[in-house]
């Protein structure tokens, strides 16, 4: 398996504050990586650097072999990104918005309708397509944000808390959707809901105060901590993030 995402020695400093320190990991093609950590651990910062929104202080990030800093255009073509706050224009309708995003992502006019149909169906927003985004509930806004990331069918998806603001039913649907992405897509998924990670991801990366405290398969982590298979991810998480 080739690595789709390769991060080496990634560090981000804001003046005197270190947001991310010396982060090294790689994600093979088709894998879903769970990205965990308490609030302020540097998850969103890392994701912003991976997508080329923020520059790193040092270290390199490669997506599909392209360096984010040297070749941002090639990297951006291959990434679908849902930021922490869904980037929505409240004055636009869902359809107008998705059309706009599809066109800047290079979806051809002939395929526009099919592509909109596909992502709207996958994220279950077909019924609100002609409503203004400002009138949507939080759950719908979040799903429109996910729909936007799926447009153009990019090989890499970076989703910052995609299930935030969804009710339990919608969350289950979102989980199914994300699970279905495995194989064809390489996904980095951050969330606070640990049970979700256990279901959707094979491996997890746990960040605490900008440092990587664990990067392994969930099962192996449980063993490494000297506990049995019954250990929940929650226990692992609490143990690893409390130490520092």
Q: What is the largest CA-CA distance in the chain?
A: 57
3-state secondary structure of 1: coil
Query: Which residue, chain included where needed, has tokens 């609490």?
Result: 238
Q: Which of residues 100-129 bind another protein (CB under 8 A)?
A: 100-101, 103-106
Q: What is the DSSP letter of 31?
A: -
CB of 214 to another protein, least distance (A): 27
CB of 37 to another protein, least distance (A): 20
Q: Which of 53, 211, 216, 235 binds another protein (CB under 8 A)?
A: 53
CB of 3 to another protein, least distance (A): 21
> What's the sign of the alpha-carbon dihedral 97, 102, 103, 105?
positive
Query: Which residue, chain included where needed, has tokens 């960040």?
Result: 207
Beta strand spans in 86-227 (E): 156-160, 186-190, 203-208, 211-217
Q: Which of 8, 28, 76, 209 binds another protein (CB under 8 A)?
A: 76
CB of 199 to another protein, least distance (A): 27
Query: How far, CA to CA in Å, does 97 sit from each of 27, 81, 92, 104, 198?
Result: 31, 15, 6, 11, 33
Interface with another protein, residue 9, by CB under 8 A: no
Q: Which of 72, 172, 179, 235 binds another protein (CB under 8 A)?
A: 72
Binding site for another protein (CB under 8 A): 48, 51-55, 69, 72-73, 76-77, 79, 81, 83, 85, 87-92, 96, 100-101, 103-106, 148
């Amino acid at each position: 398996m080739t690595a789709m995402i390769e991060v080496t020695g990634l560090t981000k400093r804001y003046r005197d504050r270190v947001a991310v320190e010396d982060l090294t990991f790689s994600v093979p093609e088709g894998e879903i990586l769970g990205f965990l950590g308490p609030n302020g651990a540097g998850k969103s910062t890392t994701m912003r650097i991976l997508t080329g929104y923020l520059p790193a202080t040092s270290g390199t990030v490669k997506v599909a072999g392209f360096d984010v800093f040297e070749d941002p255009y090639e990297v951006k073509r291959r990434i679908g990104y849902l930021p922490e706050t869904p980037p929505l224009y409240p004055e636009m309708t869902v359809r107008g918005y998705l059309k706009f995003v599809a066109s800047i992502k290079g979806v051809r006019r002939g395929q526009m309708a099919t592509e909109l149909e596909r992502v709207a169906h996958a994220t279950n927003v077909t019924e609100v397509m002609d409503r203004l985004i400002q009138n949507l509930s939080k759950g719908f806004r979040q799903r429109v944000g996910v729909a936007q990331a799926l447009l153009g069918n990019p090989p890499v998806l970076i989703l910052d808390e995609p299930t935030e603001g969804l009710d339990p039913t919608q969350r289950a649907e979102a989980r199914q959707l994300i699970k279905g992405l495995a194989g064809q897509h390489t996904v980095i998924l951050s969330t606070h809901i640990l049970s979700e990670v256990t279901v959707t991801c094979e491996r997890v990366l746990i960040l605490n105060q900008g440092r990587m405290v664990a990067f392994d398969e969930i099962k192996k982590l449980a063993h490494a901590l000297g506990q049995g298979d019954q250990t929940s991810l929650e226990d692992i998480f609490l143990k690893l993030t409390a130490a520092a």
